[in-house]
Amino acid sequence: MADFFHETAAGGRVAGVDEAGRGPLAGPVMAAAVVFPQGVPAPLAALLDDSKALSPRQREQAFAALVAARASGIAEYAVAAASAREIGRLNILGATHLAMRRALLRLPVLPDLALIDGNRPPAQPPCATRCLVGGDGLSLSIAAASILAKVLRDRAMTRLDARWPGYGFARHMGYPTAVHRTALARLGPSPHHRHGFAPVDAAWRRQALAAQTP
């Protein structure tokens, strides 16, 4: 169960940082950074958990509560993304770390410490970092970041679905489901599919070969 132990033990302004969208074949990777300057009120804490452990309805409820918490000064947060093109250029880990750095830099005040979910901190971070494996289930700040990143990325993929119909982005959010792989083979990649992911690269090759065939 997530709590505020790691933030309190560190002291000062502590941000929780997490990402959403490392595994999909398409779309951006999203990162969020969240600071609770005075701690987390119990009603809000009860809504926060690893986004993967929450239902879509629970995530939306927690997201709305975080928006309200920012409006009332209880929370500060920022969200940033790295595009599919940046993922292809940097690889998914490098692009994830880019999105994390961007999110931290967008906070109204840089934190003294960023708690990073996982075991690898971003290179050249704008503040001190500490990795916390499984942090989205341990730290309320990281849990909040995981919810913000997940909800906003899902909304971005729903918008892409309207612009690029046929792939089913609103159903699978770009993850490599059977439906997505079938659509990718049938339609070829969109501009929002990621170079460096095997099914996408294979689809690019098929498309290039088809264009060369007389």
* Domain at 74, CATH number: 3.30.420.10
- What type of residue sits at position 31? A
Q: How far apart are the first and last CA of the chain?
A: 61
Reported as type and span, the H/E element at residue 60 is: helix 56-71
Q: What is the pLDDT of residue 206?
A: 85
Q: What is the pLDDT of residue 44?
A: 98
Q: What is the pLDDT of residue 212?
A: 72
User: What's the rounded Cα separation, in Å, for the pair 102 and 81?
Assistant: 8
**Inside any domain, residue 199:** no
**Inside any domain, residue 191:** no
Q: What is the dihedral angle through the alpha carbons of 95, 99, 102, 103, rounded to the nearest 10 degrees?
A: -170
Q: What is the dihedral angle through the alpha carbons of 59, 194, 96, 34, rounded to the nearest 10 degrees?
A: -30
- What is the separation of C-alpha 20 from the centre of its chain, rounded to a whole number of angstroms? 2
**Inside any domain, residue 77:** yes
**Inside any domain, residue 160:** yes
Q: What is the pLDDT of residue 208?
A: 75
**Inside any domain, residue 192:** no
The phi-psi region of residue 183 (left if phi > 0; otherwise alpha if psi is between -120 and 50; otherwise beta) is: alpha
What is the domain count for the chain? 1
What is the domain range of residue 9? 5-164
**Inside any domain, residue 148:** yes
Residues of the chain where predicted confidence (pLDDT) is lower than 50: none
**Inside any domain, residue 38:** yes
Of 152, 146, 144, the closest CA to residue 7 belongs to 144
